[in-house]
Amino acid sequence: QLQASGGGLVQAGGSLRLSCAASGRTFGAYIMGWFRQAPGKEREFVAGISRRGDSTDYSDFVKGRFTISRDNAKITVYLEMNSLKPEDTAVYYCAADCRPQGYSIARTLSAYDYWGQGTQVTVSS
């Protein structure tokens, strides 16, 4: 089970930190990802992090502004969002990829098995 939090309303140029708390002892075995879905648009990949946190992947539109991290002891994954833009407005979802070792960070929704409920991020201009 995944529980996302930390969303809210922020002005352009501001920052937010999203958290995704997981349950279960096998959190460290999962690749974790953040996705987002804006109104009328498809859900899209934002960032992903490997099981140990030593590898990350970002979509071009957030590269240099967002940082994904994880704390396996706290079974939590984070998304630090800086220099936010109005186009970042969306519902943000965390997700867990439970495929076995050997798979790298995926950008496709179908690779992820568990999803959080989403947290709304609104960036005003």
Q: What is the pLDDT at residue 119?
A: 98
Task: Give pLDDT tens digits for 90-115.
Answer: 999 999 999 988 889 999 999 999 99
Q: Is the pLDDT of residue 116 over 90?
A: yes
Over the chain, what HEC string results?
CEEEECCEEEECCCCEEEEEEECCHHHHHCEEEEEEECCCCCCEEEEEECCCCCCEEECCCCCCCEEEEEECCCCEEEEEECCCCHHHCEEEEEEEECCCCCCCCCCCHHHCCEECCCEEEEEEC
Give the model's confidence band at 24: pLDDT under 50 very low, under 70 low, under 90 confident, else very high: confident
Task: Give pLDDT tens digits for 42-85.
Answer: 999 999 999 999 999 999 999 999 999 999 888 999 999 999 99
* Average of per-residue pLDDT across 83-88: 98
More confident residue, 11 or 101: 11
